[in-house]
Structure 1
Amino acid sequence: MREFVPAQDAPAVRLLREAGAVILGKANMHELALGVTSNNQAFSPVRNPHDLSRFAGGSSGGVAALVAAGVVRAGLGTDTGGSVRVPAAVTGTCGFRPTLGRYPGEGVTPLSSTRDTIGPMARRVADLVLLDEVLSGDDTPVAARPPGSIRLGVPTGHLTGRLEDEVAVRWEAALRDLARAGVSLVPVDVGSFTEGEFETGMAIVLYETRVELSVYLSKYRPETDLTALTALIAGSDVRGVFENCVVDGAPALVSEDVYRECLDRWRRLRTAYADTFAVHGLDGLVLPTTPATALDLATCDQGMVLCGEPVDTFATFIRNTGPASVIGAPGLSIPMGVATNGLPTGLEIDARVGADRELLALGLTLEEICG
């Protein structure tokens, strides 16, 4: 897609221009938005401004790096499984995934209509509030809430228990700071909407990518079909996904029957998520955005070690951002402080479907407590 120059602005870009924003251009990213490292083989990797040997997260790593380096005040990424919040966490910036469908998505190269959304990124939550108003048309006033009025669920189990040592230290400090400020913290079992979430969400993405990217190509690049596109993919990781799961004859194609089953599970996950908030009277869920800090670019695509065990980089870095993504709920990552290894960490806050402005209000408060 490197030669593709759109004939007109996407609606989201048009809204920003009309509001007075200056659009500089497109940033580097993980190829076709299918990854968390932004170790782009076509244009070279995105580097983390805090340590140029480390990745900037993905898939929207380039925007996060530009914001973190002070080149721009804000930018747009896209978030299917964590692609705005992961890079925000590892670069010490703020990233917001809105409720599914809140922003116009026309013109965005698609992966999954069930999961894709544009998401703004900035250095401060106040700028996200402004961008959300422009992109959504929702001008509901947003102000920081008194800490004593906030009730947050803290997931129990592996989401908060299996963390890199440096992240664990910052996480425990954040919990202490929140409690000291007067925020009510409630342990919550989130198994009802996290068990099987990764497998369900990935099957939905792989099926919808095949269908929706084909439609996109036929509209905007009719000379390029999925097979031709796959041959042009520079990164072996992304090309492997297409060859194994997307193109005609791929050995791991997701069937329509499996896709329909996954949509049924998706609806049950959404119900369980809403029930969890209602039963515990929660304003939000809070957890570390990523279980680890930014990895070395030289080895990040070979996997990683977490708590002494080898694990997959992609699955690990979207582990905590995935549930809200699959459910279509809003999620916000704000800085959680710098770890002992000198790298940023992120604090994820998730809210009820549709509670976007309420979530941003929580972010204004927690930013001052934990940043």
Structure 2
Amino acid sequence: MTASEAVKAIADGRLSAETYVRTLLAHGKAVSGYNAMISWNDEQAIKVARSIDALRQSGQQLPLLAGLPIVVKDNINTKGLPTTGATPALEHFVPTNDAWVVTRLIEAGAIVLGKANMHELAFGITTTNFASFAGIAKNPYDSTRMVGGSSGGTGVAIAARIAPGGLGTDTGGSVRIPAALNGIAGLRPSVGNGGKERRYDGTGVLPLSHTRDTVGPMGRTVEDVALLDAAITRTDVADSAPLRGLRLGIPTTYWDVVDAEVLSVMKAAMAKLEHAGVTFVEVDLPNVRSLAAKTGFRLVFHEAALDMPKYFAASGATDITVERIAAAIANPDVKAGFQAVLQRSPANEQEYANAVSVFRPAMRAQFDAYFKINAVDAILSPTTPLAAVHIDAEKGSSTVSINGGPPVNEFETFIRNCDPGSIVGIPGITLPAGMTEGGLPVGISLDGPVGSDRQLLAIGISMERLLGTLPSPKT
């Protein structure tokens, strides 16, 4: 069942919440070879499910998500369960509180099945982990392929039918990349400048960047993602929107690096959209790449060193330091990248100041103008330039080739289309566009103006009905 189907079946009395939870827990253990999960919440999940069943039998009104099992990425606080960040220094860290988003979902009746695997410290896009307790997550559509990241475990758990929905986090693509590679849907909500424009409160989440990080819901369908978003924001569930008359921007810079198989799937999806009345507006965003190069990583490297100590202090772990975490990092790619977090110099401080006050505002102004001047509702692109590539079990993340070209950086390639919108804080969704001839999922992405989250979800629901969902992996 999808999340939407499950909550309706439980509310109607056609499905016992306890039976559903027990079934999913058993299935999760049976497919444990995918390494989707780091820890389980069996006893508590069953206890909460029983209480939901009792509430329904008493005739009381059920909350929106009553009985819905979810998984939570292991950098999001869950009281009583470890929040490991898939890194050795935090293997046994148990926070004293739930994250704000987890509280919202639990109050809406959701049941936490357990904590999902992730790329160590959310610092990568493969979820190929070298920490023994986390391990290498594997794609349900082809277990030799990577799952994306950093919310890879949540993506796998939903694709492999361990749970119908869950939470990831997204700094530069970490919800949308694994959603795309595992054939599901995901939302990166509006963050804007990290202040009043932010859609979700980020309290209780192991941070990288307070001006870029956000929790994002993931589900089998966009309808499921809209359901989770409604529970988090305490608003009505987004409905479908007409496709006829929709204007979608097609910037060349989002399409100039795309694998031929991915491009073929995207063109087929776009032909269906055009037939349904969508207009494509081919106008570029010419300065996005150069501005992003001066902004994105400078924000993360500077803010992680400031934000992590505050998070640990608020979560009841005053003995954990950034230096202690860095010393124990297991992934080679994370260890190399994290060194920049520890470096403090006047030059780095100035680069950060420029990123915040000059380059990111310039990027945001360009995006705002793009939507307004061209009267486009959203930007459409492949979520990732490639489908899932083979797991690199030696290095974790290395190089890839586009259409037989020279080797290029894997990380930079996979974040290519997700990162610009993340830097300026606009919302983005991904949903399945189709599959390659080899049976690998391909994601189609929409980025919209700040605050257009409900409209994006509504468009995504309509696109999903037109394009269809993917067949289940053979788990």
Give TM-score scaled by structure 2 length. Answer: 0.75
Instruction: State the Cα deviation string for residues 27-81 of structure 1 (Å, max 9, x = none).
Output: 1110000000000111211110000111110000000000001110100000000
Q: Distance in 2 between matches of 1:341 and 1:363?
A: 25
CA contact (8 A) 1:218 1:225 kept: no
1:255 corresponds to 2:348: yes
Instruction: State the Cα deviation string for residues 156-180 of structure 1 (Å, max 9, x = none).
Output: 14x2122112101111112211111
What amino acid is aligned across from residue 461 of structure 2 in structure 1?
L
C-alpha distance 217-142 of structure 1, shift in aligned 2 (>3 A) = closer
1:217 corresponds to 2:312: yes
Indicate which of 25, 32, 42 corresponds to 2:114.
25
Q: Distance in 2 between matches of 1:254 and 1:31?
A: 28
1:183 corresponds to 2:278: yes
1:88 corresponds to 2:179: yes
CA contact (8 A) 2:294 2:359 kept: no
Indicate which of 378, 384, 402 corresponds to 1:306.
402
CA contact (8 A) 1:12 1:105 kept: yes
Q: Distance in 2 between matches of 1:61 and 1:98?
A: 18
Offset at 1:302? 2.1
C-alpha distance 112-167 of structure 1, shift in aligned 2 (>3 A) = same
What amino acid is aligned across from residue 98 of structure 1 in structure 2?
P
Cross-structure match for 2:99: 10
Q: Distance in 1 between matches of 2:137 and 2:323?
A: 27
SS in structure 2 at match of 1:255: helix
Offset at 1:248? 5.0
SS in structure 2 at match of 1:306: coil
Equivalences for residues 1-371 of structure 1 within 5 A: 1-42=90-131, 43-100=134-191, 101-139=198-236, 142-157=238-253, 159-219=254-314, 220-243=316-339, 245-248=340-343, 255-263=348-356, 264-298=358-392, 301-307=397-403, 308-371=405-468
Larger Rg: 2
Number of aligned residues: 366
What amino acid is aligned across from residue 219 of structure 2 in structure 1?
A
C-alpha distance 254-286 of structure 1, shift in aligned 2 (>3 A) = farther
Offset at 1:86? 0.1
SS in structure 2 at match of 1:25: strand
C-alpha distance 208-24 of structure 1, shift in aligned 2 (>3 A) = same
Report sequence identity in percent. Answer: 40
C-alpha distance 310-354 of structure 1, shift in aligned 2 (>3 A) = same
Q: Distance in 2 between matches of 1:151 and 1:262?
A: 31
Instruction: State the Cα deviation string for residues 119-174 of structure 1 (Å, max 9, x = none).
Output: 000011111111111112233x62222221211111114x2122112101111112
Q: Distance in 1 between matches of 2:260 and 2:460?
A: 25
Offset at 1:196? 2.5
Give TM-score scaled by structure 1 length. Answer: 0.95
Q: Distance in 2 between matches of 1:338 and 1:241?
A: 33
C-alpha distance 12-254 of structure 1, shift in aligned 2 (>3 A) = farther
Offset at 1:199? 3.8
Q: Distance in 1 between matches of 2:210 and 2:413?
A: 23
What amino acid is aligned across from residue 208 of structure 1 in structure 2?
E
Q: Distance in 2 between matches of 1:253 and 1:50?
A: 48
Q: Which runs of 5+ in 1 are unaligned?
A: none
SS in structure 2 at match of 1:88: helix
Highest RCO, 1 vs 2 (Cα 8 Å, sep ≥ 6): 1
